[in-house]
Structure 1
Amino acid sequence: MNPRTKRLIAHFLEPFALRGLDGVQPPGEYDVDVDEEMIEGLSRLAYQRVATFIHVPARGIKAHRTQLVAIDYDELEMALKREQETNK
């Protein structure tokens, strides 16, 4: 297996909640890590997502500690799409 981690930034303009997070999170830019593993035996290079983590609190918020929390990637995408539609 050849694992890799992709780093994304989730931009929230409104408070949001996701399963796995404690309560509603404030707006901000959140680092998201997406862990992927290579799918063996294919004729081309392909990866599958195996885990997604969000860093809390958001960037720029001073905290004594940060947490890396496992979340559902599809739920994150849905929350970002909902916000995008709301803030058009």
Structure 2
Amino acid sequence: MNVVDVQLGLEERVMRTTRTTIAFAYPARFKGIDETFPAGTYELETDEEVSEMGDQTVYRRVRTLLLVKTLGQVRTVDVKPSELDAAIDRDAVQAAAG
């Protein structure tokens, strides 16, 4: 995971944004999004709210964006973390099945 930045939000919330990549071996679908994404590698951008809980720091995902590159353009698709996890699991099951 690569930490991109830490910023102070308007409501005095500390946020961090991380960028990672994810690869789908099979086309991916996400509940609530009427589109199928082709197999391939995608960048993810995740915003997390940083909270101090006693002597430990806790990060809570507040937004995950899938960066979709098509025809020389990049657009972002807001994906629920639970839907992203489900798509990753489906891809792994399909890959294991052959």
TM-score of Structure 1 vs Structure 2, range by shorter chain: 0.7 to 0.9
User: 4+ runs of 1 displaced by more than 2 Å?
Assistant: 19-22, 40-43
Whose radius of gyration is greater, 1 or 2?
2
Using the size of structure 2 for normalisation, the TM-score is 0.74
1:43 is displaced (CA, Å) by 2.6
- State the Cα RMSD in Å: 1.7
CA contact (8 A) 1:20 1:70 kept: no
What runs of 5+ residues in structure 1 fail to find an aligned partner?
none
Q: Distance in 2 between matches of 1:53 and 1:69?
A: 5
Q: Is the 8 A contact 2:24 2:91 kept in 1?
A: yes
Where does the alignment leave 5 or more consecutive residues of structure 2 unmatched?
1-12
Q: Deviations over 1:52-72 (max 9, x none)?
A: 100002xxxx62311011111
Greater relative contact order (Cα 8 A, min sep 6): structure 1 or 2? 1
Residue 64, structure 1, aligned to residue 76, structure 2 = no
C-alpha contact 2:26 2:94 (8 A) present in aligned 1: no
Given candidates 44, 53, 59, the residue that maps to 1:47 is 59
Q: Among the aligned pairs, what percent are the same residue?
A: 29
Does residue 34 (structure 1) correspond to residue 46 (structure 2)? The answer is yes
Higher strand share: 2
Cα distance between partner residues in 1 of 2:72 and 2:65: 19
Number of residue pairs aligned between Structure 1 and Structure 2: 84
1:75 is aligned to 83
Tell me how far 1:35 sits from its aligned partner.
Answer: 0.3
Counterpart Cα distance in 2 of 1:17 and 1:76: 9
